[in-house]
């Protein structure tokens, strides 16, 4: 028997973060998933212990200001793509307003730290979301292209193939075939 799961990684990460921080009996507030505000002073020993335990779960404390801004850019992009409540605006406008810096500064900093462009990161995130939508929903490619603000299915298909090496249609066929094989194996 197989169990197919849809994982809410945001909920999971928040739950782990809260559980681990609560073990230290310190007052804190989660500003957002990637930012914790301690409401009391903590010793360097406790800070190191927090860092160590969080590292076990894939959390890394960022201390360099440039890296903090790059992480905020990534978080804003993920929010912009995956959150349907975010208004449909140009990514450059959204990032500049959200992070209170010019887009030119953000773009240069992102490229300096990550060795890729913001635009490339956006494409990668959109394709990851497209793969999730293909896998978990019964949406057509036209509906997915519209949902991800592509001008056409052809544009989505081109970026999908350039990123993954296969077309979205081929990806759909693979997912369908895997489900058929899994269903046959269960019966």
Decide if domain 121-186 falls under CATH 3.40.50.10800.
Answer: no
How confident is the chain (187 residues) per 10-residue block, as mean pLDDT?
A: 76 89 89 82 88 90 87 91 78 92 94 94 94 86 90 93 94 86 74
Per-domain boundaries in the chain: 9-61, 63-115, 121-186
DSSP-derived 3-state class of residue 161: helix
pLDDT the model gives residue 168: 93
Side-chain-side CA neighbours of residue 146 (13 Å): 5
Helices (H), 23-152: 44-55, 65-82, 91-99, 103-114, 118-136, 141-147
Q: How far apart are CA 32 and CA 28, in angstroms?
A: 12
* Cα 95 to the center of its chain, rounded Å: 15
Q: Tokens 């605006």 label which residue?
A: 89
Q: In terms of residues, how long is the chain? A: 187
CA distances 127 to 28, 54, 134, 180, Å, are 35, 29, 10, 24
Please name which of 96, 88, 94, 167 lies closest in space to residue 127, comparing C-alpha atoms.
167
pLDDT the model gives residue 177: 87
| Dihedral, 150, 155, 157, 158 alpha carbons, nearest 10 | -140
In terms of phi and psi (left: phi > 0; alpha: psi -120 to 50; beta: otherwise), the region of 90 is beta
Check: CB of residue 74 under 8 Å from CB of residue 121: yes
pLDDT the model gives residue 70: 93
pLDDT the model gives residue 108: 95
pLDDT the model gives residue 104: 94
pLDDT the model gives residue 139: 85
């Amino acid at each position: 028997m197989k169990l197919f799961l849809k994982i809410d990684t945001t909920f999971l990460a928040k739950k782990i973060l809260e559980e681990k921080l609560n073990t230290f009996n310190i007052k804190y507030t989660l500003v957002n998933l990637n930012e914790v505000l301690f409401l009391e002073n903590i010793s360097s020993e406790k800070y190191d212990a927090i860092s160590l335990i969080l590292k076990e779960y894939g959390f890394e404390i960022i201390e360099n200001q440039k890296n903090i801004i790059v992480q905020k850019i990534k978080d804003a992009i993920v929010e912009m793509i995956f959150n349907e409540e975010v208004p449909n605006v140009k990514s450059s406008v959204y990032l500049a307003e959200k992070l209170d810096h010019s887009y030119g500064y953000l773009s240069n900093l992102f490229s300096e730290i990550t060795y890729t462009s913001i635009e490339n990161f956006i494409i990668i995130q959109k394709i990851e979301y497209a793969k999730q939508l293909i896998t978990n929903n019964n949406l057509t490619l036209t509906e997915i292209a519209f949902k991800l603000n592509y001008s056409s299915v052809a544009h989505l298909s081109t970026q999908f193939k350039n990123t993954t090496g296969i077309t979205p249609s081929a990806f759909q066929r693979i997912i369908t075939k895997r489900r058929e094989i899994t269903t046959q194996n269960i019966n």
